[in-house]
């Protein structure tokens, strides 16, 4: 099946899930990118719904915050209604203890006990390079109370002190399942869904 998510300032895109009703990866891409304001609020983001806002109330149940009037910082939602670690980010073991979320390479496995990294609440991002794809690994708690692992690609054309945008993100809809950075649904999953829709439409017209 496929799930369609409203993605704020982006466009309405298909977030494909594996066929036959099985869970899988939900993937959302923003046309032109979702800008992260260079302010102390930045953007509050709900990964499950795709809602984003410059205020917490504008993105109910927000999971992560990306902000900073100069450099880029990350923060997970520590609301008392959810465990304090909700929305935490990954920092590589090679980064200083004072560093925040690390830029991850594609293929890095984001899960409960990541190899070579640890979960942190947030802080100033590290390892980001100007003009390249920069990936973050994070986790969040869905509305139903389940834990999900995710990655997000950011655009920082002039470095983390300049304009920045969210380009895409993906998460595992299977609770507690790990996801590799850059992993997206298999094309065949969405094709099966589209083919079945077309076949159903032809049957209805011919009936």
Residue 173 has pLDDT above 50, yes or no: yes
How many domains is the chain partitioned into structurally? 1
CA distance 119 to 88: 6
Higher pLDDT, 82 or 24: 24
pLDDT band for 82, please (50, 70, 90 cuts): low
Q: Are 82 and 48 in contact (CB under 8 A)?
A: no
Model confidence over 47-56: pLDDT tens digits?
A: 999 999 999 9
0.85 surpassed by pTM: no
- Kindly state the average pLDDT of the residues 164-192: 85
CA 199 from centre of chain = 33
Q: Are 25 and 183 in contact (CB under 8 A)?
A: yes
Please tell me the predicted confidence (pLDDT) of residue 86.
Answer: 58
Query: Which residues lie below 8 Å from residue 156, measured CB to CB, with a gap of 6+?
Result: 72, 128, 129, 130, 131, 134, 162, 163, 164
Residue 143 has pLDDT above 60, yes or no: yes
- Kindly state the average pLDDT of the residues 151-157: 94
- Could you give the angle at the alpha carbon of 7 between the alpha carbons of 141 and 119, nearest 5°? 30
Residue 1 has pLDDT above 50, yes or no: no
Domain residues for 163?
2-206
């Amino acid at each position: 099946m496929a799930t369609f998510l409203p993605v704020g300032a982006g466009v309405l895109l298909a977030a494909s899930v594996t066929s036959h009703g099985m869970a899988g990866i939900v993937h959302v891409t923003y046309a032109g990118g979702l800008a992260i304001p260079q302010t102390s609020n930045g953007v509050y983001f709900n990964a499950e719904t795709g809602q984003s806002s410059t205020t917490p109330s504008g993105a109910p149940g927000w999971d992560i915050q990306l902000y900073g009037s100069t450099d880029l910082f990350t923060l997970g939602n520590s609301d008392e209604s959810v465990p304090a670690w909700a929305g935490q980010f990954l920092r590589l073991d090679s980064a200083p203890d004072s560093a925040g979320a690390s830029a991850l390479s594609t293929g890095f496995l984001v899960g409960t006990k990541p190899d070579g990294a640890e979960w942190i609440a947030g802080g100033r991002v590290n390892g980001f390079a100007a003009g390249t794809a920069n990936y973050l690994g994070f986790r969040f708690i869905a509305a139903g109370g389940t834990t999900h692992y995710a990655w997000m690609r950011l655009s920082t054309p002039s470095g983390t002190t300049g304009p920045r945008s969210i380009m895409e993100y993906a998460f595992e809809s299977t609770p507690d399942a790990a996801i590799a950075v850059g992993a997206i649904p298999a094309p065949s999953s969405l094709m099966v869904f589209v083919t079945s829709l077309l076949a159903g439409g032809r049957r209805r017209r011919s009936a």
